[in-house]
Homo-oligomer: A and B are copies of this chain.
Amino acid sequence: MSLYLGLKDQLLKLILEGKYVSGTVLPTEHELCDQYELSRVTVRKALDELKKEGVIASAQGQGTVVSHRKNGFPSSLDLIALVAPVHNPFFASFMEHFERIAEENGSLVLFKQDFKGKTFQSDELWANYEMIAYQQPMKEMAEKAYQRLAVQNNQGELWQASSFVLQGEVVSFKPKI
Protein backbone atom coordinates (compact mmCIF):
# COMPACT_ATOMS: atom_id res chain seq x y z
CA MET A 1 0.00 0.00 0.00
CA SER A 2 1.17 3.51 -0.70
CA LEU A 3 2.50 5.66 2.11
CA TYR A 4 -0.25 8.24 1.94
CA LEU A 5 -2.98 5.60 2.04
CA GLY A 6 -1.22 4.04 5.00
CA LEU A 7 -1.25 7.30 6.89
CA LYS A 8 -4.82 7.95 5.85
CA ASP A 9 -5.93 4.62 7.27
CA GLN A 10 -3.98 5.17 10.49
CA LEU A 11 -5.60 8.55 11.06
CA LEU A 12 -8.98 7.17 10.09
CA LYS A 13 -8.51 4.37 12.60
CA LEU A 14 -7.74 6.86 15.35
CA ILE A 15 -10.85 8.79 14.46
CA LEU A 16 -13.12 5.74 14.27
CA GLU A 17 -11.70 4.47 17.57
CA GLY A 18 -12.59 7.75 19.18
CA LYS A 19 -9.02 8.87 19.86
CA TYR A 20 -9.78 11.96 17.82
CA VAL A 21 -13.37 12.93 18.43
CA SER A 22 -15.22 15.47 16.31
CA GLY A 23 -13.84 18.91 16.92
CA THR A 24 -10.39 17.72 17.90
CA VAL A 25 -7.57 19.69 16.35
CA LEU A 26 -5.21 17.30 14.61
CA PRO A 27 -1.43 17.64 14.92
CA THR A 28 -0.02 20.13 12.43
CA GLU A 29 1.24 18.90 9.10
CA HIS A 30 4.82 19.37 10.25
CA GLU A 31 4.17 17.36 13.39
CA LEU A 32 2.67 14.55 11.33
CA CYS A 33 5.75 14.67 9.10
CA ASP A 34 7.95 14.13 12.14
CA GLN A 35 5.74 11.53 13.78
CA TYR A 36 5.41 9.33 10.72
CA GLU A 37 8.68 10.31 9.03
CA LEU A 38 7.00 11.37 5.83
CA SER A 39 7.37 14.40 3.59
CA ARG A 40 4.80 17.16 3.80
CA VAL A 41 3.58 16.34 0.30
CA THR A 42 2.70 12.83 1.39
CA VAL A 43 1.08 13.97 4.63
CA ARG A 44 -1.02 16.51 2.74
CA LYS A 45 -2.07 13.86 0.23
CA ALA A 46 -3.35 11.70 3.10
CA LEU A 47 -5.19 14.66 4.63
CA ASP A 48 -6.64 15.52 1.22
CA GLU A 49 -8.18 12.07 1.02
CA LEU A 50 -9.80 12.50 4.40
CA LYS A 51 -11.05 15.95 3.46
CA LYS A 52 -12.49 14.55 0.25
CA GLU A 53 -14.51 12.08 2.31
CA GLY A 54 -15.62 14.70 4.77
CA VAL A 55 -13.85 13.22 7.77
CA ILE A 56 -11.73 16.28 8.46
CA ALA A 57 -11.69 19.93 7.50
CA SER A 58 -8.92 22.50 7.44
CA ALA A 59 -8.38 26.23 7.09
CA GLN A 60 -5.37 28.35 6.37
CA GLY A 61 -3.66 29.67 9.45
CA GLN A 62 -5.93 27.72 11.77
CA GLY A 63 -5.30 24.03 11.50
CA THR A 64 -7.04 20.78 10.73
CA VAL A 65 -9.93 19.47 12.77
CA VAL A 66 -11.95 16.29 12.82
CA SER A 67 -15.44 16.79 11.47
CA HIS A 68 -16.52 13.18 11.69
CA ARG A 69 -20.04 12.98 13.03
CA LYS A 70 -20.78 10.11 15.35
CA ASN A 71 -24.11 9.14 16.79
CA GLY A 72 -25.98 9.50 13.55
CA PHE A 73 -29.18 7.66 12.92
CA PRO A 74 -30.09 5.21 10.18
CA SER A 75 -31.65 6.51 7.03
CA SER A 76 -34.83 5.19 5.63
CA LEU A 77 -33.77 5.96 2.09
CA ASP A 78 -32.35 3.26 -0.07
CA LEU A 79 -28.91 4.05 -1.30
CA ILE A 80 -27.89 2.37 -4.51
CA ALA A 81 -24.39 2.42 -5.86
CA LEU A 82 -24.05 1.85 -9.54
CA VAL A 83 -20.71 1.41 -11.22
CA ALA A 84 -20.10 1.36 -14.93
CA PRO A 85 -17.05 1.39 -17.15
CA VAL A 86 -16.38 4.64 -18.91
CA HIS A 87 -17.16 3.33 -22.37
CA ASN A 88 -20.27 1.25 -22.42
CA PRO A 89 -23.26 2.43 -24.42
CA PHE A 90 -25.46 -0.43 -23.28
CA PHE A 91 -24.84 0.30 -19.64
CA ALA A 92 -25.43 3.99 -20.14
CA SER A 93 -28.94 3.39 -21.44
CA PHE A 94 -29.64 0.75 -18.84
CA MET A 95 -28.55 3.16 -16.18
CA GLU A 96 -30.85 5.93 -17.29
CA HIS A 97 -33.77 3.55 -17.26
CA PHE A 98 -32.76 2.17 -13.88
CA GLU A 99 -32.31 5.60 -12.35
CA ARG A 100 -35.82 6.59 -13.33
CA ILE A 101 -37.32 3.46 -11.79
CA ALA A 102 -35.30 3.86 -8.63
CA GLU A 103 -36.36 7.44 -8.17
CA GLU A 104 -39.98 6.52 -8.59
CA ASN A 105 -39.45 4.17 -5.68
CA GLY A 106 -37.85 6.78 -3.48
CA SER A 107 -34.31 5.55 -3.77
CA LEU A 108 -31.21 7.52 -4.43
CA VAL A 109 -28.87 6.33 -7.15
CA LEU A 110 -25.25 7.30 -6.91
CA PHE A 111 -23.48 6.83 -10.17
CA LYS A 112 -19.80 6.50 -10.64
CA GLN A 113 -18.03 5.95 -13.89
CA ASP A 114 -14.72 4.23 -13.56
CA PHE A 115 -12.07 2.22 -15.29
CA LYS A 116 -11.88 -1.47 -14.60
CA GLY A 117 -9.56 -3.24 -12.23
CA LYS A 118 -8.48 -0.87 -9.51
CA THR A 119 -7.18 -2.09 -6.18
CA PHE A 120 -9.01 -2.04 -2.89
CA GLN A 121 -8.12 1.11 -1.04
CA SER A 122 -9.30 1.00 2.53
CA ASP A 123 -9.93 -2.54 3.73
CA GLU A 124 -10.46 -1.45 7.28
CA LEU A 125 -13.34 0.87 6.60
CA TRP A 126 -14.92 -1.43 4.11
CA ALA A 127 -14.68 -4.25 6.66
CA ASN A 128 -17.45 -2.49 8.54
CA TYR A 129 -19.80 -3.83 5.95
CA GLU A 130 -21.00 -7.38 5.80
CA MET A 131 -21.72 -8.54 2.30
CA ILE A 132 -24.72 -10.70 1.68
CA ALA A 133 -24.50 -13.05 -1.26
CA TYR A 134 -20.88 -12.17 -1.53
CA GLN A 135 -19.12 -13.22 -4.67
CA GLN A 136 -15.45 -13.03 -5.42
CA PRO A 137 -15.44 -10.37 -8.13
CA MET A 138 -17.79 -8.31 -6.01
CA LYS A 139 -15.10 -7.10 -3.67
CA GLU A 140 -13.19 -5.48 -6.50
CA MET A 141 -16.30 -4.00 -8.00
CA ALA A 142 -17.62 -2.86 -4.67
CA GLU A 143 -14.44 -0.96 -4.01
CA LYS A 144 -15.20 1.32 -6.88
CA ALA A 145 -18.32 2.44 -5.17
CA TYR A 146 -16.56 2.73 -1.84
CA GLN A 147 -15.82 6.41 -2.08
CA ARG A 148 -19.37 7.49 -2.77
CA LEU A 149 -20.72 5.19 -0.09
CA ALA A 150 -18.16 6.44 2.38
CA VAL A 151 -19.08 10.00 1.62
CA GLN A 152 -22.65 9.29 2.42
CA ASN A 153 -21.56 7.27 5.41
CA ASN A 154 -19.66 10.22 6.73
CA GLN A 155 -22.67 12.47 6.49
CA GLY A 156 -23.31 11.17 9.94
CA GLU A 157 -22.01 7.60 9.82
CA LEU A 158 -25.53 6.60 9.12
CA TRP A 159 -26.45 5.70 5.60
CA GLN A 160 -27.60 2.12 5.43
CA ALA A 161 -27.00 1.11 1.89
CA SER A 162 -29.61 -1.55 1.53
CA SER A 163 -28.93 -2.72 -1.96
CA PHE A 164 -26.04 -2.77 -4.29
CA VAL A 165 -26.60 -2.92 -7.98
CA LEU A 166 -23.97 -3.84 -10.45
CA GLN A 167 -24.29 -4.72 -14.07
CA GLY A 168 -27.85 -5.78 -13.68
CA GLU A 169 -27.11 -8.00 -10.70
CA VAL A 170 -28.41 -7.01 -7.31
CA VAL A 171 -26.36 -7.80 -4.25
CA SER A 172 -27.51 -6.72 -0.85
CA PHE A 173 -25.32 -5.72 2.00
CA LYS A 174 -25.78 -4.13 5.36
CA PRO A 175 -23.60 -2.25 7.82
CA LYS A 176 -22.16 -4.24 10.71
CA ILE A 177 -22.30 -1.24 12.97
Contacts and interface: CB of A to CB of B under 8 A. Distances in A.
A92 B69 CA distance: 9
Contact of A112 (B54, B59, B109, B112): B54
A86 B109 contact: no
A contact patch SS: mixed
Which range holds the interface residue count of chain A? 35 or more
B67 A86 contact: yes
Contacts of A75: 103
B114 A96 contact: no
A19 interface: no
Nearest to A108: B108
A57 interface: yes
Contacts of A106: 77, 106
Contacts of A59: 115, 118
Given A110-B155, A115-B59, A155-B110, A100 B73 contact: yes
A100 B48 CA distance: 30
A48 B99 CA distance: 27
Contacts of A87: 23
B69 A86 contact: no
Given A52-B52, A86-B23, A86-B65, A57 B99 contact: no
Contacts of A69: 92, 111, 113
A76 interface: yes
